[in-house]
Structure 1
């Protein structure tokens, strides 16, 4: 849970808002596993494409794949504008946050659909 999510969660609870909603914990609970790929390292050289050079921009592109408990996958990515600023750990964190944000949308849709069906 990000510090922003924690602050929002605290505010929701302080205001006594208790209608059905999603929580950061619920979002985290649907994640079964997470995987990271550096685009430059993840591309295999073959007869159709050469190896990715060390200084290529693909080396600053990180993907996160979150596999949900139902088998669905969501992805997030992170890239930096200046190669000198690339940091693999920070890239993974940003890519994961971007992937996790997609879960909010999907789970929000599911909750809204359930509420709609209940009338």
Structure 2
């Protein structure tokens, strides 16, 4: 999936400034996604996207139009996917921070 304008702008700025310490990138986030599934609940505008990650974990995003007259299934799916994908940043950021801190073994 192509970078959105905001991600592309941030990536360009990081490269320009030579900020090249270990970090997450949009490509790294997208590489975690191995499958996606959608469900629109019948009779509603509620759309759910389930993104399956490489390790089998599933991240969920949702969207709903406040006005049924404004509901468009393709737009709902796109928003739900974006919301699910945004959750991956936090998960991967936590994992990277564990690696950088030397704490890579689980606490359980």
Using the size of structure 2 for normalisation, the TM-score is 0.90
Between the aligned partners of 2:81 and 2:66, the Cα distance in structure 1 is: 18
The count of corresponding residues between Structure 1 and Structure 2 is: 101
Q: Kindly report structure 1 stretches of 4+ aligned residues shifted beyond 3 Å.
A: none
**CA drift at 1:75:** 0.3
Between the aligned partners of 1:78 and 1:2, the Cα distance in structure 2 is: 19
**Which ranges in structure 2 are unaligned for 5 or more consecutive residues?**
104-108
Helix, strand or coil for the counterpart of 1:60?
coil
Counterpart among 82, 92, 104 of residue 107 in structure 1: 92
Report the equivalent of 1:16: 18
Between the aligned partners of 2:87 and 2:76, the Cα distance in structure 1 is: 17
The answer to whether 1:91 aligns with 2:93 is: no
For the aligned residue pairs, the C-alpha RMSD in angstroms reads: 1.1
**CA drift at 1:92:** 0.4
Kindly indicate which of the two structures has a greater share of residues assigned to helix. Answer: 1
Helix, strand or coil for the counterpart of 2:19?
coil
**CA drift at 1:7:** 1.0
Report the equivalent of 1:47: none
Alignment of 1:67-82 (within 5 A): 67-82=52-67
